[in-house]
Structure 1
């Protein structure tokens, strides 16, 4: 057989021909448009438009009654009054930041610890997961009622167990220096189960072969977690960060049930509610407080998200 020099080799014939992509029908396009469009419209209508309206109204003075012609634009006066002559603002900021710090230091690492232990396929793992996740199912209002039952000065479980119900009563709920910590204990109890489930879902995505390879290389448990498991949990870390910030800054039900967010339990969410739907309705002032709360949330979330996205692009 004569071989012609310089001839291009014949292209290999694929074993299986590629399947042709199916063209979307009109019905498919309508279905996809509804599935994507309806949730988008609901989110824009119920979240983004009210949020932008709150930012706009934060520069106005309006009682909420009457038509829009009664709105009086005051510029930055609402913000000036918040920072200068509104006495509840600074305690609320302090309590929200303490709440956020405690959520980062206690429920987040403890939830990760529980998830790592449950991921070891111990006996009755499903039962433990259900028990630890049960508080998340309960509403924060119900957690507030439970807080009163536990920390009540005279009939509370804690004072009865320590013998303070008959002698020197510890007023956990009435003391403004103690009630914030009593409430956060119950809030952390609920938050730990939520974080545990998030990390447990992330641990399921870790390749077991990588753990085995690390063990063969002589890596211990901590080294395996640090160099193999923890980098895999990076997307879950972002979710946990966002959830922790949101849950700590939107805390409202638990303190409002106890004493309507007063006497040491002031939070920004309570101030927003009291000014917008309280007896003295001040839509503009409450919107300014809501805008400050939004900015605080973004100050924690946006830099971390930008850092993680840039790191992912480099990799």
Structure 2
């Protein structure tokens, strides 16, 4: 009788269990609610204050003529004049755009394939692979400013390694015929390790049965990678593509260390800095340049989010 009258227990996934779980969440104590609210509110406020507020302020200041002296209320509204001046009568702008495009092409067609190549080699678990992986990734943890100083030891006109070995007297950082390409070699050295790490993580997550099936079908290693493995890593490909675009756009540290973005090394980011914090401060004009960067970055991020959300659906 006791067995007959016993109430059946609800399985773990039943509605009764779910209701109890939600009741437990709803019955958080006062201290727990405060902790949850703070965990959400503090990062949100920091994001608004450190990212969105400066971005909106830059867009608003781009429509003004303000030299940074005095209160912001003294800024004079001039409409789109800063934007028209940037594209029409500001000589460094179009060379800077060209240099940013060259930066993008080199990172995409040189640094990215090198990163993929190293990732494929290290994925085979060759001897001393950990040592090689650390050596390739080490430049990533260094700032671009420090990378510039390191490569100065190689590019120096009087004491640099290249000139000492070859006997040349080229000023790699000072000559506008060479300084952009010298800077691109240095940034490629840094960017390759980052791409290598992303693709190495992606290769480790590929299902081994896919490679086995391709091998059974008679596919070579090259065919297996390009027709089976590489398409499977589509999320990694998108991430690398977006990161490469953003890195080419916000390239600043290395060029600023070399010559502050002058004499053949003009970039949009260095033009923004030189106009905002230079001797002749033009906050409104520099904000217009920064807005150009913001628009391009927003477009890239929107494309990335659309692709990711479409894949999730």
TM-score, normalization by structure 1? 0.87
Unmatched tracts of structure 1, length 5 or more: 1-12
- The corresponding residue for 1:45 is 49
For 2:239 and 2:106, how far apart are their aligned partners in 1? Answer: 18
Residues 242 and 304 of structure 2 are in contact (CA less than 8 Å); yes or no, is this contact kept in structure 1? no
Question: Residue 160 of structure 1: CA displacement?
Answer: 0.9
Q: How many residues align?
A: 297
1:56-94 Cα distance to aligned partner (Å, 9 max, x none) = 111111122222320111100001111121111111111
2:233 alignment counterpart: 233
Gaps of 5+ in 2: 1-7
Give 1:70's aligned residue: 74
**Cα distance change of structure 1 residues 161 and 243 upon mapping to structure 2, 3 Å threshold:** same
Match of 1:80 among 75, 78, 84: 84
CA 1:227–1:34: 2 relative to 1, 3 Å: farther
Match of 2:5 in 1: none
Shift of 1:228: 2.6
Task: Report whether the alignment pairs 1:267 with 2:267.
Answer: yes
After superposition, residues 1-315 of structure 1 pair within 5 angstroms as: 16-18=11-13, 19-20=17-18, 21=21, 23-24=24-25, 25-26=28-29, 27-164=31-168, 169-303=169-303, 305-307=305-307, 309-310=309-310, 313=313
* TM-score after normalising by structure 2: 0.88
User: Contact conserved, 1:152 with 1:173, CA < 8 A, in 2?
Assistant: yes
What's the offset of the Cα at 1:283?
1.0
Q: Which moved more, 1:189-198 or 1:302-311?
A: 302-311
Pairwise CA RMSD:
2.1
Q: Structure 1 CA distance, aligned partners of 2:37 and 2:104?
A: 39
Structure 2 CA distance for aligned equivalents of residues 41 and 207 of structure 1: 41
1:228–1:91 CA distance, 2 compared to 1 (3 A): same
The change in CA–CA distance for 1:310 and 1:16 in structure 2 (over 3 A counts) is closer
Which segment drifts farther, 109-118 or 299-308? 299-308
- Give how far 1:174 is off: 2.0
